[in-house]
Amino acid sequence: MKLGFDDEVEAFRAELLEWLAANRPSPEEMAADPSVSTGHAPAWARRWTRAMFDAGWLVPGWPAELGGRGVGSIETFVYLEELAKAKVPRTTNVQGLGIVAPSIVDYGTPEQVQHYALPILRGEATACLGMSEPDAGSDLASLKTRAVLEGDEWVIDGQKVWTSGANYADFCFLFCRTDPDAPKHKGISIVLVPMDTPGITVRPLPELIRPEHPDLNEVFLDGVRVPATNLVGTLNDGWAMANGSLAHERGM
C-alpha cells in the first residue's frame, strides 16, 4: 500500500513551494534579527507576514479577505509541513497570529476585526495575551485583574505575568474580572488594551537562553482607562471565550 495525497493537494503544495522559493526571507535576513527585542518586532517578520497575507498564504484555511484561500484541513497540514521543512515561520508574534487574531474574528465586532485583527494579519501590529497572573497560572479562573465600568470607560487594575511579547506588543487581549461577586468561572471578560495606554508598566523577565532578546514579561496595570467599546464579546462570558481562544492555541 502506498499512501499519499490526491492531485489537487499536490498541486496546492507545488504552488506553495513555487511561491516560497520566490518570496521567502533568506536565512541571513532572519539570522540578523532572529527574535524580538525590547520595543519592536523584527522588520523582516512584519514584511513577511504582509507578503503572506497579500498572497493568501498567511492562514490558507481562512477566506481571502482574512489572508487565506479557503482550503481544507489537509491543505493546511501540507502548508504547515512545508513551512517547517523550509524553516520559515509565519510570524514572530505567535500569540497574536495564532490566538488573538482568530479570537477577535470569532467574538469581536466588525470594528474590532478591522482595527485589531486585520492589522495583526497584515503585519502592521502585534498583540500579547493577558491571561496568567502570579496567583492564576494554570487556574485562569482565579484571576484578580479587575475592570470596572465608569461611564464609557473601563478602569483596569491588576498584574499579569509570563506575558509573551508584551515588551513589543501594540495591544493586549486582556482577561479581567468584571463581576467580583460571581463564582470564579463567571464574571470574567475580555478587553482590548492598547499597550501605550497610561498606567501600564512592562518589565521583561530575565531569560537564560537569549538574555539579549527577552520575550516573557510582567505587566502591571494601574488605573488603566480604555473605551467601553473595547469589550470583546459578551460581558462576563470570558471563560467560554477563553476555551475558544485556547482551542486556537492547541490548533496552533
Separation CA 235–CA 101 (nearest Å): 19
Q: Which of 252, 182, 193, 186 is nearest to 225 (CA)?
A: 193
Separation CA 132–CA 228 (nearest Å): 23
Separation CA 188–CA 236 (nearest Å): 5
C-beta separation of 199 from 216 below 8 A: no
Q: 27: burial class by Cβ within 10 Å (0-12, 13-18, 19+)?
A: exposed
DSSP assignment of 2-14: -----HHHHHHHH
249 is catalytic: yes
CA terminus-to-terminus distance, the chain? 31
Which residues, listed in sequence order, are joined to residue 189 by a DSSP beta bridge?
176
Separation CA 71–CA 12 (nearest Å): 9
Q: Active-site residue among 29, 82, 153, 249?
A: 249
* Torsion sign across C-alpha atoms 39, 45, 51, 56: negative
Separation CA 85–CA 126 (nearest Å): 25
Tell me the backbone φ, ψ of residue 232, rounded to 5 degrees: -100, 130
Q: Which residues are catalytic?
A: 249
